[in-house]
Structure 1
């Protein structure tokens, strides 16, 4: 019976999931927050590693950057560090690896904009969370083995993943719908979203779709709070047109979740259909972007924060997803 009720809505969604991109309003960062002192210097480790001429040079770099060597290069997984040094020497002498490094240096001759944007993000995080410690930040050319590494001590940005979308070098293991999010303008939002997990106390043991939706909603809400002038598409990884279309169809999307009793679904395979990586959410419409449950969760969290005037630290610390959902007063925008 549900399928008969929903069929007209799905047909309408297929037609309506297109929209003109809305013009962004002018946005300025808070000057008082920008006065926050942060000690950030991005070290371009790719230069040091590709300038190494011998295994001994690599061993020296391991000693100079021990945390990077252990956590990123995983030195402890090798019988000896000398063996890893020898492997890196061979890899960095490979013609294609040298070409990849050269292309990264062409497209990233300097990283001043990245350093400025990431520095401003750190100032905002420190404003909301004074205990936040500025991690060491490195860039690297990984040969498409690692895009981003983020923990409380260190961030490593694999710049080879963030070459232009039409570049001949592309990560071989990324489908196109994910690869389109790997450009320079996505780097800082991806880092901030990763950092949000340290503050996101959502209780996923509640094991429901709405819990997972709210987890991601809090992550995106955090990122938007830290990067208030960053368009939504660079935070969630949709195109501007997809963001606009989701808002245009918000009532229908919400109706689909409600009428199919999805919010408290606990089957992980069902949950993944609405929050997992996919080119589209075909259950709703072939034209609906993937991960639409995450987008909906973002709206719920935004409404919870707005309607209850909850500060960011308190929002992130709230573990009760049903409380957030109920007190959000969420309703689709007319």
Structure 2
């Protein structure tokens, strides 16, 4: 009995250690936002679209951007009475918590304002795209300060409508509500252009760090969100990346990829895909975008080595090879 208790305590300790490791990395970003306000206006377009008491003519006046101006009212009426579309909307009502979305976005916008005070929270529109916008479910329009979220693209992995649309399962991983705020953060980061796109070099490590900066900003904007949701992995994929970090980096070193300007490396290791392309037997086990994950760890290591550098100054620094050198990134081999 004592032996069983010992092993239970041992595995509990290991589990807590893994959890605390991630918590410690994000603890740096848990700043005081109590004095920062954010008033999020959230509007559910689909609620009105599928309300047959509202004529299409009135709906168009309220949402002139939603229905194609060349589409006759009769066709629009037919569309919103489509059985499949109505069933998808019913799933939205069952699986999507609008109040939770509002709370998550409000908190995130407050964190963004802490680092970028000029940021103004956008007006948020929720809608159903008939699962057509699954590749780009978030649209941010900075000039009008609008944010559009296709909530039908967050109904959960294995949803029957996703399979009906033949959406690849690796894409479905991030099509759950837990990934929503992270996808919003990514789109805002890309549209605001806080990260300089003109890099001093076009090396593979520079591009990895560029992607790592996006994820590091997600750390800052979403400090309480788990890593797997930020990068769009499953927990098993996160575990694989952590367990094989030394081997991944050693592979890049041995093949002289780190400072290479071969653009095909971006397709192999940075692009959204079902797996990364090492061209070895490990491919089947690896998650896609492993280079983004490595770039993220380099950025995190940089802040461990240079704690006095501000987030804004780090993000603005376009000399990514200098960042790499100062990070002293060199993952250790885990004991077998």
TM-score (normalizing by structure 2): 0.82
Query: Within the alignment, does 1:119 sit opposite 2:75 as a pair?
Result: no
Alignment map for 1:39-54 (pairs within 5 Å): 39-51=39-51, 53-54=54-55
Query: Within the alignment, does 1:104 sit opposite 2:99 as a pair?
Result: no
**Shift in alpha-carbon separation, 1:94–1:301, aligned structure 2, 3 A:** same
Worse-matched range after superposition: 22-31 or 305-314? 22-31
Q: Distance in 2 between matches of 1:130 and 1:107?
A: 34
Alignment map for 1:291-310 (pairs within 5 Å): 291-309=289-307, 310=309
CA-CA distance at 1:224 after TM superposition: 1.0
In structure 2, the residue matched to 1:194 is 187
Query: Within the alignment, does 1:61 sit opposite 2:62 as a pair?
Result: yes
Q: Distance in 2 between matches of 1:21 and 1:278?
A: 31
Q: 1:165 aligns with which of 149, 157, 164?
A: 157
In structure 2, the residue matched to 1:14 is none
Superposed CA offset, 1:110-155 (max 9, x none)? 4222211111111100011101111111111111122211232121
Q: Distance in 2 between matches of 1:166 and 1:185?
A: 15
Q: Distance in 1 between matches of 2:98 and 2:290?
A: 33
CA-CA distance at 1:245 after TM superposition: 2.3
Say whether the 8 Å CA contact 1:202–1:320 is kept in structure 2: no
Q: Distance in 1 between matches of 2:77 and 2:260?
A: 51
In structure 2, the residue matched to 1:184 is 177
Alignment map for 1:4-15 (pairs within 5 Å): none
Gapped regions of structure 2 (runs ≥ 5) = 1-13
Instruction: Give SS of 1:170's match.
Output: helix
Say whether the 8 Å CA contact 1:250–1:332 is kept in structure 2: yes
Say whether the 8 Å CA contact 1:151–1:195 is kept in structure 2: no
CA-CA distance at 1:103 after TM superposition: 1.5
Q: Distance in 2 between matches of 1:317 and 1:175?
A: 36
Superposed CA offset, 1:288-324 (max 9, x none)? 2111111000011112223222211112211222221
Instruction: Give SS of 1:137's match.
Output: strand
Q: Distance in 1 between matches of 2:240 and 2:16?
A: 9
In structure 1, the residue matched to 2:209 is 214
* Superposed CA RMSD: 2.5
Query: Within the alignment, does 1:241 sit opposite 2:228 as a pair?
Result: no
**Shift in alpha-carbon separation, 1:322–1:85, aligned structure 2, 3 A:** farther
